[in-house]
Amino acid sequence: MKIGTDKANKLRELIDSGPRRIVIVTHTNPDGDAIGSSLAWGELLESKGHDVTCVVPNRYPSFLDWMPGIEQLKIFKYDEDGSTAQKISEAEIIFCLDFNQITRLERLSDAIKDNETAQVVLIDHHLNPSAGFDLIFSYPDSSSTSFLVYELIEQLEGTTAITKRMGENLYVGMMTDTGNFAFSNLTPELFRAVASLVEKGVDVAAIHSNVYNSFTEDRLRLLGFALNKMETFRAGDVGVAYIALKESELRRFRFQPGDSEGFVNFPLTVRTLDVSASFIENKKFIRISLRSRGDVDVSKFANKYFDGGGHKNASGGKSFMSMAETIAHFRRSALEYFGEGVSVESSPRQTTEFPG
């Protein structure tokens, strides 16, 4: 996508106007795109002489540990000495990357709102950004925020400004948010961007292995357990699957943040399933992830029934009900929304027989 000249100029003015105190924030449970886009954008701003602090609300999954510059990230949850809060309160510019509502940052939201003088700039690819930003770069057709950052840098500075380190971080976001280049919005421009990152020396195979082949044995066993628990039903023409994991079950597998990342995608490898949901319980609430294929829209569904949102084929939300109530609400809602109220039988509970 082409970024409007007016807006690009405003951004250029902002980042070309002498050294500034800049904070970059991204969403709770940061993923490869959140971290990759933040680190790359941060490195570009640092190269222009700014004082940059990248902040995440809580910890990132361990399979991202190797990302260049990740050791500089401030985890707001562990800001015991208040130094990160101070950086936020003193910031002249705050960039919000890969999310569209400041309220999604939980406790970090207040710290940002308390700084009333900073220019707050959104760079994101989710639908329907909320109000409250001074400058908005919202491109829902972009497959990742990392690709959007690539295009912003290309337009503002030219691709020569992108270093190999930045390229590695951007590639992680492009790869993970597209499910390794398998989902939607796979444009020629995206592959041209990837080609240019490869020219800079980005090692695609090494990054793939770092991200996808670095799980713990506990995580793999939890995946097996989760898939075995999967339930399916039909809502009219739409095949629906869900996976529910209670806190006690997660504890059995020594659950670490990020361990359930991607679980929700597996049911869609079944030809007859069109919608997949996962319900992952923590101490405070149940985190809901939704995926769909084709024209089936889970973003509106998440918004209507779970106060959430996201993209047409990948969305999420929260539930403060019990697991049983959440599942009952989900089943009713799916029947109403996808099946127009047609009641259908649940599939019998599968028990898996292992050979031998």
Kindly list the residues in this chain that would bind ligand 5GP in the complex (CB under 6 A).
Answer: 101, 104, 126, 289, 308-311, 314-318
CA contacts within 13 A on the Cβ side of 98: 31
Amino acid at 92: E
Complex with ligand 5GP: residue 68 or 176, whichever CB lies closer? 176
Residue number, 178 or 260, with CB nearest to Mn ion: 178
Nearer to ligand 5GP, 87 or 291 (CB): 291
At its nearest, how many Å lie between ligand 5GP and the CB of residue 324?
21
CB nearer to Mn ion: pick between 92 and 98: 98
Residue that has been written with the tokens 């309220």 in this structure: 103
Site for Mn ion in 92-151 (CB under 5 A): 98, 145
Exposed, middle or buried, 145 (CB in 10 Å: 0-12/13-18/19+)?
buried
By C-beta, is 87 or 311 nearer to ligand 5GP? 311
Alpha carbons 254 and 236: distance in angstroms, whole number: 38
Please give the distance of CA 340 from its chain centroid, rounded to a whole number. 30
Interatomic CA distance for residues 312 and 316, integer angstroms: 11
Residue 181 Cβ vs Mn ion, minimum distance, rounded to whole Å: 14
- Give which of Mn ion, ligand 5GP, none residue 33 binds (C-beta under 5 to 8 Å, depending on kind): Mn ion
Residue 36 contact, options ligand 5GP, Mn ion, none, Cβ 5-8 Å cut-off depending on partner type: none
177 part of the interface to Mn ion, by CB under 5 A? yes
Q: Which listed option, Mn ion, ligand 5GP, none, makes contact with residue 177 (CB within 5 to 8 Å by class)?
A: Mn ion
* Rounded distance between C-alpha atoms, residue 288 and residue 257, angstroms: 15
Question: Shortest gap between Cβ of 232 and ligand 5GP (angstroms)?
Answer: 19
Among 33, 151, 168, 261, binds Mn ion (CB under 5 A): 33
Q: How many CB atoms lie within 10 A of CB 310?
A: 20
Measured CA angle at 77 (ends 75, 83), to 5 deg: 65
In contact, 35 and 64? CB cutoff 8 Å: yes
Q: CB neighbours of 230 closer than 8 A, spacing ≥ 6?
A: 241, 242, 243, 266, 267, 350
CB of 351 to ligand 5GP, least distance (A): 28
Binding site for Mn ion (CB under 5 A): 33, 98, 145, 177
